[in-house]
Copies of this chain bind each other. A is one copy, B any other.
């Protein structure tokens, strides 16, 4: 087993705990396993961390700092909503890379035991949403939007962790992500009221698709296909029947 070079004992304990937790697949990790891997004995652990839970709290804190660093480390793209997408994806990737740590962080949140992490994560999201709001790209209060988006983000990440890595379908993430962002951006505000009679017509949908296709340089169709496709769209768009 790795002796973690000659780091100070406190760090060796932290690393050993993190390592064992990461590969524990849900099984509980004993203090004896940890101290043995770190090449130490029990009292050292309790001297530095007081408690088994104290040690795991430290692991979680370290993991959270790594997460925050990841969330801050990309350059703003100028488009706040796009930045929020990257933030969302970053969150999901963090969860999938360290599922056990993520489950400890977000899967066992009880009111008495530190919603601090949640508050920090919300602030992070809110900060970004403030920029969106300043740019007129938000139709709800940033704080509420942040809480809502983060909740969905956590839910999606937990669900993805729950499925075997082989069948993991990230479309669940992108779909939910875009749904949430779409719902809080102002372009659609007026549509929300008409949920019942909605039934968008073929024409409207075709117009939307037409515009979207031309703006996106989709590579799903060849250029000749695209040309014909757009012509058909045009025929549908300009027809007067619903």
Contacts and interface: CB of A to CB of B under 8 A. Distances in A.
Interface in A188-236: 188-202, 204-209, 211-213, 215-216, 218-221, 225, 229, 232, 235-236
A211 B192 CA distance: 10
A162 B118 contact: yes
A162 B180 CA distance: 21
B184 A204 contact: no
Contact of A180 (B137, B164, B174, B179): B179
Interface string A1-13: 0000000000000
A33 to B, nearest CB: 18
Interface in A118-176: 118, 136-137, 140, 144, 147-148, 150-156, 158-159, 161-165, 170-172, 174-176
A108 B219 CA distance: 40
A61 interface: no
A9 to B, nearest CB: 28
A215 B198 CA distance: 6
Contact of A176 (B79, B152, B163, B190): B152
A161 B241 contact: no
A201 B195 contact: no
**Copies of this protein in the complex:** 2
A152 B207 CA distance: 22
Which of A107, A109, A113, A195: most chain B Cβ within 10 A? A195
A66 interface: no
A26 interface: yes
A76 interface: no
A28 to B, nearest CB: 9
A81 B197 CA distance: 9
13 contacts: A25-B110, A81-B196, A85-B197, A109-B158, A110-B162, A118-B162, A136-B199, A152-B180, A158-B158, A187-B195, A195-B215, A199-B216, A220-B235
Interface of A: 25-26, 79, 81-82, 85, 99, 103, 106-113, 115, 118, 136-137, 140, 144, 147-148, 150-156, 158-159, 161-165, 170-172, 174-176, 178-202, 204-209, 211-213, 215-216, 218-221, 225, 229, 232, 235-236, 239-242
